[in-house]
Amino acid sequence: MRASSTLEKGMGWLNYGVLIALSLSILLPIVNVLALSFNVGTDAAKGGITFWPRLFTLDNYKEVFSQSNIINGFMISFFRTLLGTLLSVLLTAMAAFALKSRTLPGHKWLTFLIFFTMLFSGGLIPYYIVLKELHLTNSIWVYVIPALYSVWNMMIMRAFFQQTPEGLEEAARIDGCGDFSIFFRIIMPVSKPVFAAIALFNAVGHWNDWFTGAFYVRDPDMKPLSTVLQEMLTKQQALTDTLLSAGNAMQMQMMDKIQVTGTSLKMATIIIVITPILIVYPLLQKYFAQGVMIGSLKE
């Protein structure tokens, strides 16, 4: 008994050690990025900065927020994240609820055809042509409408809905409820974990997406925050690289006056982009932890 108890304690301490090591491997790089974002760019290029800035400055963040289109990009990102997440979760959940019904004619074939679209893509150019023909390019709706449905999220929701007791639906139908009443009054309240998990996946995807704004939108006033920051970062990095590659005295003097480099600006950009997600995630953590366990147990 003592040997068994000692072994269990040893395994417990080992588990704690592994979890602490994994947590530090995630946390320490973020702290390092935070320190670099508050440090003078030219000084940070010398190296030696770990978890605290050596020469504290706010110039990196001032440079980011000095751009006139930052606030507009933030509003675009907020709009697409909020509306896109709400519509995508709702419509995907309704489709998943319909597919899990055994009374739906041809539900197996429909599920296969929908799943088949996840395995193959038409390609970037045909996709662009479709968006252009639908008059979605250079429009704010290009951020929302193409991302309304996700086959992967639909399959996750379908698996969760299949685990709900069929007696709930049967009792509701006996009481005279239709499909919409069952979905909104029964399925949604008991499916908070999967809704929270899918909502978080969608929100992170919308907030971090810079590709759509860079390739499908030409109007600078319609670009989301991630695209604006990515373009600004590219320009700053190009300027810094040009000055570093030059050798004349005047350009070297200009380099000495620059406090913001491409690397320091990148660190500030990372902090700005991930902060909203870090604020929202603790609010959904309880439901998210339950949602990611979908399908792991079979009774």
Task: List domains and CATH numbers for the chain.
Answer: 58-291 (1.10.3720.10)
pLDDT for the residue numbered 296: 45
Q: Which residue, among 236, 235, 242, has the nearest Cα to 260 in the 3D structure?
A: 236
φ, ψ of residue 56 in degrees (nearest 5): -65, 140
Tell me: pLDDT of 249 over 70: no
Instruction: Give the pLDDT score at 271.
Output: 87
Task: Report d(CA 227, CA 208) in Å as an integer.
Answer: 9
Asked if pLDDT for residue 91 goes beyond 90, the answer is yes
Contact status, residue 86 vs residue 98, Cβ threshold 8 Å: no
Q: For residue 39, list its beta bridge partners.
A: 56
- Is the pLDDT at 159 greater than 90? The verdict is no
Residue with the two structure tokens 């959940």: 93
Residue 24 predicted with pLDDT over 80: yes
User: Would you give the distance in Å from CA 273 to the centre of its chain?
Assistant: 10
Query: If pLDDT is split at 50, 70 and 90, which confidence band does 89 have?
Result: very high
CA 215 to chain centre: 19
pLDDT tier for residue 297 given thresholds of 50, 70 and 90:
very low
Alpha carbons 7 and 11: distance in angstroms, whole number: 6
Instruction: Indicate whether 138 pLDDT > 70.
Output: yes
pLDDT of residue 295: 47
> Which DSSP string do the residues of 48-80 spell out, in sequence order?
--SSS-SSB-SHHHHHHHTSTTHHHHHHHHHHH
Q: Residue 299: its pLDDT value, please? A: 45
Please give the full DSSP string across 36-49, using - where no structure is assigned: HHTB-HHHHTT---
Are 71 and 224 in contact, with CB atoms under 8 Å apart?
Answer: no
State the pLDDT at residue 92.
Answer: 93
Higher pLDDT: 142 or 285? It is 142
